Chain A
Amino acid sequence: MTKLHIKATKSSPEILLDPTTHQHTLKGESYPENSLEFYREFFDWIDAYIDTLEDTQEVIFNIELIYFNSSSSKVLMDLFDIFDDACEDGKNIAVNWVYNEDNDAILEYGEEFAEDYENLKFNFVVI
């Protein structure tokens, strides 16, 4: 697999998916014009990646969003659903939920996601 790098815009995050380091990042803002369309390439990559992933491989997914809208919240849920299922199948994936200490909303939304998943682990990282 090759890396996927999409640059940030005002309303969409930087996406960095790296199949060699297995450290992936979603960083910035997310309120794109059409979230399904914007994230299509991202999900195609994730689906293919999970298929080739070894069970023992440690995977870290950094979510470093300052703001995301309700449509993007649905996108994040779909992503965590995929990871949670993969973890149930024996994969070793964890989410690093990175938040600014002054950004209560992001922390709160991270905690709300964390309480919904049994197999996927969330680490909270304050910056």
Chain B
Amino acid sequence: MIDSYYKFQQHLEREGIMFSFVGPVSHNVVEGVGTVLRNKMELEEVSMNVSLKVFSIFIEQIQNVIRYSADRIPQDNFESDISFGMLIVGEKNKQYFLIGGNRVTSEQKERLNDFLDKLATMNKDELKQFYKERRKAQPDEHSKGAGLGFIEMARKSSEPIKYNFEKIDNESYYFTIETVV
């Protein structure tokens, strides 16, 4: 095992991955990693517009893992739960890509799939209107936030967002989402 980690890192580097995280996510991770990510892009003189787009998708994606992951240790309120998931940020062919992953229940999967299918049919203008519409509506108790985060990601992404559900067992799926800036 000890002799395989260098290969592991080389593999990540070849894929353009500059950050990868699998494990428990809490707000400290959001703040810490978010800040490092922004500092890194600042040092590389990435424009404010691009770096804020990447940062914005990063925040929505990681806060979604905290809110939606089916693997969680509950705290006093759900936004403080310690949730398990995956987050990857990389750069390839002059584009940044952000990948998020976490386990969802079969029930969540249905709702999420329908919602993301719906977003996939929308152009930027329709996404803007839908964002405003959902912002006005009271969040329903299942979504814990009206899905605004996903709409925000779709608005910031320069390509349609990709998503996938892989069946784990009868009760759950592994949900993966990828956005590109």
Name A's B-contacting residues (CB within 8 A). Answer: 9-11, 31, 33-34, 37, 66-67, 69-71, 73-74, 77, 100, 102-105, 112, 116
Contact = CB atoms under 8 A, between A and B. Distances in A.
Interface stretch (B6-14, B44-52, B87-95, B99-107): B44-52
Interface in B92-134: 128, 132
Interface of B: 27, 30-31, 34-35, 47-49, 52-53, 55-56, 59-60, 63, 77, 79-80, 128, 132, 135-136, 145-146, 148-149, 151-152, 156
Contact of A31 (B63, B80, B132, B145): B63
Contact of A73 (B34, B49, B77, B135): B135
22 contacts: A11-B27, A11-B34, A31-B30, A31-B59, A31-B63, A34-B77, A66-B52, A67-B52, A67-B55, A67-B56, A69-B60, A69-B63, A69-B152, A70-B145, A70-B148, A71-B145, A71-B149, A73-B152, A77-B135, A100-B48, A102-B47, A105-B53
A69 B135 CA distance: 12
Contacts of A100: 48
Contacts, number: 66
Given A70-B148, A74-B148, 19 more contacts: A10-B31, A10-B35, A11-B27, A31-B34, A33-B27, A34-B77, A37-B77, A67-B55, A67-B56, A70-B60, A70-B135, A70-B145, A70-B151, A71-B148, A71-B149, A73-B148, A77-B135, A102-B49, A104-B49
Contacts of B63: 31, 69, 71
B52 A103 contact: yes
Contact of A103 (B34, B49, B149): B49
